[in-house]
Amino acid sequence: MRKLKKFGSLLAATAIAVTGIFTTPSDAVFADDANTTYSYTYDIWGEMQSSPDAYRPTKHISGDMFEFEQEDGSMVAKNFVEPQGQFIRGNKIYVCDTGNNRIVEIAFDGKEYKGVREIKEFFGEDGESLTLNKPYDIFVTDNEEMIISDYGNERVLHVDKEAKLIKMMTVPDVTPFNDETDARKFQPQKLIMDTAGRIYVQAEKINKGLLEFDTEGNFTQYVGASPVTFNMIDYIWRFFMTEAQIAAQPKFVPTEYNNVAIDSEGFMYVTLATFDDNKYLTANPVRRLNSTGSDILVRNGNDPPCGDLKWDNAGGYNGPSHFYDVVTFDNNSYCTIDQTRGRIFAYDFQGNLLYAFGGIGNRLGYFRKPVAIDRMGDSLFVMDAQYSNITVFELTEFGELINKALREYQNADYDKSAEYWNNVLRLNGNYDLAYIGVGRALLRQEKYAEAMDYFKAKRDRRNYSKAFEQYRKEQIEDHIGDLVKALIVVLIGVWLIKKVRKIQREVRECD
Amino acid sequence: MRLKKIKFSSLISKEWLTHFGKTLKYSLYVIFHPFDGFWDLTHEKRGSVGAANFLVFLYLLLNILRLQFTSFLVRNINLSRINMWVEIASVIAPILLWCVSNWGFTTLMDGKGRLKEVYMGTAYALTPMIIIGYPNMILSNFLTIEEITFYSFFDTLSLIWFVALVLAAMMMIHDYSLTKTVFSSVLTLVGMAVIVFILVVFFSLISDGIAYFVSLYQEIQFRFY
């Protein structure tokens, strides 16, 4: 009888377990427990540590969601065809539908995305019609003026809200566009406008930097060419080469940028993807340029912002990350997109990797060829040229805590920052920055020994040293009395021993 | 049957112990009087292999303890990636290679020393590394990042001292002039590289040979099953 009972309870337990297996994982792909490799960070040793999601993909925006009235009065919803650029201003998304030669304006009302209008033609000063040929990128100003790089027509258009032309920038009279032999075509790709109304254009196959146009639309100069890099051995080799051999060698030329973005302080961010695969750590694929064009990006992290640190030749994807766009946040954090593995890397203002996520694939949250990243508030919008859609990412609690902690840190409220970091640690015990953040607050609260533990755990040498210096001082100050006492005792002891020895000797000599 | 009680003193005799202590203590004399000291070390039998072994052991121990107990400001090591056997081998192997290679070359170059004496000389030369290394390891834990120079100063000092002692030892043991010592030492280093190369070649050759017979056996086995 007892045996039967036991068997019965066993059966019940199995039944529960079996139903458990078959019911839990069927729903959402991005359930917290079901996905442990989507987001990750690199730890102090450069090893991948999986992390909770800081951003979670919520939906796709595709072209067929928006119907627009055509010239013949019909309503047509067309898919995007290889879109290359997007811009977000306020709650509006402007999509450069490159393959369909149109601009699509989408508005988000807090719940739904609605098509506002599609722009296919613009009107010149005399009312003539201007059409687009492969528009590559768009920039929209505060008063909804649009600047569009018309790649196929070799020009940049600056139009107002009603699509009336303000100015047009065509091929500048400067090398290499006016070279007598082998003149380059002017093929503008990505562009931005700064607060002073100057327009910076990144054009295809131009390695002299960004083209700067003034408010009148005249070309003024190249800005921010990346310095030429070459190594000494190659240089010496060239002395022994014939003309023909040198011509066959790759030239020492600066690398060309592939994108440009502007941050809230008016500095330009550029990305580049052409560099020697083995030099990915020193290539600085994302740069922040000041007005003279020098790179002022802060790189204080364990590793420079270069995307993936380690990779295998897996699934046909090999090589370092190649960045194609960057989006900046108000707290000087920035996100970059990598086309090698379809990943998004977020860095803070010091260049520490905050989190990385994404991948190549066909599920929600994965990409094939991500080309542009922008944000609306805290949400990220990633455009994929091959899938011709935009993936929307929403910030999670984890991501929000990190943002808050960083904000408080920048406001110099270290204690509050540590509070947030502690909450981050509750969600992710492998988060190096959180340990250091907590340690910093402890250091300021003069809890040196505890701070040292936190810094040591994540091998933050500089901060550990600071905490240790204070700790050592404190310990010496506290125990200086004991030390002096000990010293006196030792001195007396030595003196006594000497005295005793002397007496012993005298006694011996007396014998 | 009653188990015979093994006495500690029967394993290590008192005479051996005193001799060991005396020869070990002699290492302190050697490091301050290298020429005189290394001459007497072998010619006057004032050193012993036991003491030399003990010095090598202390040095090995130091290298292992260093991994754990040096401040991470000085040596930032990922302890989870440490392989103890590799660490041990990386201390012992160079010492043995040096001795064998040096003995091999000096035999051809009219060196007077025997392998045992070369080993003793090298081991005794490790003494400054040991007596500076241990306190330095402890000291590192009391230093801030700016004061690490102190650590590296003592570290370098012990290394220079060691090299100088090795040269003096080889000079005295083989009865060489200074130039010949330096020349033979350089040759010794080259010889070490050659030995390592030959070992690697042998290893791959032997493993290939074994693999051949293993696959032969397997082929035959498949045939009969």
Q: Tell me what the pLDDT averaged over chain B comes to.
A: 91
Q: Could you give the CA distance from residue A324 to residue A341 in angstroms, rounded to a whole number?
A: 12
**Residue B190 distance to chain A (closest CA, Å):** 27
Q: Judge contact between A101 and A119, C-beta under 8 A.
A: no
Mean pLDDT of A289-312: 87
Q: Could you give the CA distance from residue A361 to residue A357 in angstroms, rounded to a whole number?
A: 13
Contacts of A115 (CB under 8 A, 6+ apart): A65, A66, A67, A68, A104, A105, A106
**Residue B144 distance to chain A (closest CA, Å):** 5
For A475, nearest residue in chain B (alpha carbons): B142
| Banded model confidence at residue B11, pLDDT cuts 50, 70, 90 | low
Q: Could you give the CA distance from residue A18 to residue A28 in angstroms, rounded to a whole number?
A: 20
A93 assigned to some structural domain: yes
Q: Do A469 and B144 touch (CB under 8 A)?
A: yes
Residue A161: give its domain's CATH number: 2.120.10.30
pLDDT attached to residue B150 = 94
| Banded model confidence at residue A279, pLDDT cuts 50, 70, 90 | confident
Q: Do A462 and B145 touch (CB under 8 A)?
A: yes
B142 touching A, CB under 8 A?
yes
- Let me know if A14 is exposed, middle or buried by CB neighbors in 10 A (0-12, 13-18, 19+): exposed
Using an 8 Å CB-CB cutoff, list chain B residues near A461.
72-73, 76, 145
Of the candidates A336, A267, A349, the one whose C-alpha atom is nearest the C-alpha of residue A300 is A349
What is the count of residue pairs from A and B with beta carbons less than 8 Å apart?
21
How many distinct structural domains can be found in chain A? 1
What is the side-by-side strand order in the sheet with A323-328? A48-50, A39-42, A353-358, A343-347, A334-338, A323-328
A456 assigned to some structural domain: no
- Let me know if A483 is exposed, middle or buried by CB neighbors in 10 A (0-12, 13-18, 19+): exposed
A18 assigned to some structural domain: no
DSSP β-bridge partners for residue A389:
A62, A384
Q: Do A465 and B81 touch (CB under 8 A)?
A: no
Residue A80, SS3 per DSSP: coil
Of the candidates A149, A167, A171, A155, the one whose C-alpha atom is nearest the C-alpha of residue A94 is A149
Range of the domain at A236: 39-395
pLDDT attached to residue A27 = 36
DSSP β-bridge partners for residue A471:
none
Q: Judge contact between A376 and A108, C-beta under 8 A.
A: yes
Residue A340 has pLDDT above 50, yes or no: yes
Residue A347, SS3 per DSSP: strand
| Banded model confidence at residue A37, pLDDT cuts 50, 70, 90 | low
Out of B72, B81, B146, closest to residue A456 by CB: B72
Tens of pLDDT, residue by residue over A457-474, are 998 889 999 999 999 999
A375 assigned to some structural domain: yes
B76 touching A, CB under 8 A?
yes
Q: Tell me what the pLDDT averaged over chain A comes to.
A: 86
Q: Do A462 and B146 touch (CB under 8 A)?
A: no
| Banded model confidence at residue A230, pLDDT cuts 50, 70, 90 | low
B145 touching A, CB under 8 A?
yes
- B68, B69, B70, B73: which to substitute to probe chain A, counting the most A Cβ within 10 Å? B73
Q: Could you give the CA distance from residue B160 to residue A10 in angstroms, rounded to a whole number?
A: 73
Integer-rounded Cα radius of gyration of chain B: 23
Q: Do B72 and A468 touch (CB under 8 A)?
A: no
Start-to-end CA span in chain A (Å): 99
Max Cα separation, chain A? 135
Q: Do B81 and A464 touch (CB under 8 A)?
A: no
pLDDT attached to residue A363 = 87
Using an 8 Å CB-CB cutoff, list chain A residues near B72.
456, 459, 461, 464
Tokens of B166: 């090795």
Contacts of B224 (CB under 8 A, 6+ apart): none
Instruction: Give the helix ranges, DSSP H, for chain B.
Output: 8-11, 14-32, 34-43, 49-69, 84-108, 115-125, 127-140, 148-174, 178-224
Tens of pLDDT, residue by residue over B128-180, are 999 999 999 999 999 999 999 999 999 999 999 999 999 999 999 999 999 99
pLDDT attached to residue A29 = 42
pLDDT attached to residue A312 = 78
Instruction: Give the helix ranges, DSSP H, for A265-348.
Output: none
A457 assigned to some structural domain: no
pLDDT attached to residue A266 = 87
pTM over 0.90: no
| Banded model confidence at residue B52, pLDDT cuts 50, 70, 90 | very high
Q: Do A465 and B78 touch (CB under 8 A)?
A: no
Q: Do B142 and A472 touch (CB under 8 A)?
A: yes
Q: Where are the domains of chain B?
A: 15-201
Tokens of A137: 């990128």
pLDDT attached to residue B122 = 95
| Banded model confidence at residue B8, pLDDT cuts 50, 70, 90 | low
